[in-house]
Amino acid sequence: MDRFYSLNHSSIDFVFKQTPRDFVVEELPLYEFSGEGEHLVLFIRKKSLSTLELVGIIAKYLGIKNKEIGYAGLKDKHAMTKQYISIHKQHEEAMESFSHDNVKIITKTYHNNKIKIGHLKGNRFYIKLKKVNPTSAQKIDEALKNISKQGMPNFFGYQRFGNDGDNHIEGEKIAKGEKKERNPKIKRLLINAYQSHLFNLWLSRRLEINTLIQNFEVKELESLLNMPNEELTKMKAQKHPFKLMNGDIMEHYPHGRLFDFDGEEDDCNRFNDRGISPTGLLCGNKVKTSSDNAWVIEKEFDDEINADGARRYAWVFPEGVEGRFKPEEAHYELNFSLPKGSYATVLIEELAKRKIT
């Protein structure tokens, strides 16, 4: 299935390379550090290093195990990134002498607990697009306004699927017991890629349905989508570009409990106001699935696999969206924040309306 996009403009020409000069990420912590406690919290700037490589370098320097270093999330290797790590306070003096060409300690503080995976609110991005002409810059301006106002689809980015983009193929075999993988981390990575692949296919299908609803009359849609007239009429009346279906599973945004959507106008308004958002399925065990008309679509992208499932926001709302065109350099600079688990490269592809790899 071809990828569907949420915006209506034609594709935009520009050049984007994920390099430390043009792609900068700053982690937004989940909570304020207390300033006291047995854990030393370091705010670190790194470039051309993955988070795991950073952790390995510091662990080797200190003579400790990698697992003794806490971090909230994995940051891109091909970028300039700023993130927090925690180590025991006993290593503070040793870290005073730490030096690495691609690593700089910006600030330090203390906290009572070790930083753990998921302990982040999101990330702030600075991105530079190149070879942008004035016409393209105007189209980017308008697209950013729409994203700032309405949000964007929460696809998994290309990074999720490996260098060749085919990790999900191996992941499916492993998840179904057709192939063995002894390394637990690699096994989890590949199975996650398969779950992500199915999620992306489902989300693209939902965006395709949105497009059909926007462009056809209800009578035409009945045969195109094989859905009841009443449901289609309600969907067509919704203000938001992502059309909610009876049986969708919603989640309070940016975090909270799950509940079923049953067509209430109040819930449509709460979605418009960013108080809730629809979720998609990451197939597996112990996961709540949608119902009614939403399940008719979702079940096509469900699969029985030996892994735990989950729900993921189908739609997210970037914050602090800013854009600046530099005509003398033919550059376009943009800043925005995304919740954890969302990909900046997906926003770039939404602007371009094409793959950027």
Q: Which residues does the annotation mark as catalytic?
A: 76
User: Would you call 82 helix, strand, or coil by DSSP?
Assistant: strand
**Cα separation of 156 and 254, whole Å?**
17
**Cα separation of 37 and 27, whole Å?**
22
Question: CA nearest 200: which of 114, 257, 283, 131?
Answer: 283
Pairing of strands 152-153, 103-111: unpaired
Question: CA nearest 270: which of 238, 303, 312?
Answer: 238
Single-letter code of the amino acid located at 52: L
The strand ranges marked E within the chain are 23-29, 39-47, 70-71, 80-88, 103-111, 120-130, 152-153, 249-252, 258-260, 276-282, 310-313, 315-316, 319-326, 331-339
Would you call 342 exposed, middle or buried from its count of C-beta atoms within 10 A (0-12, 13-18, 19+)?
buried
Single-letter code of the amino acid located at 42: L
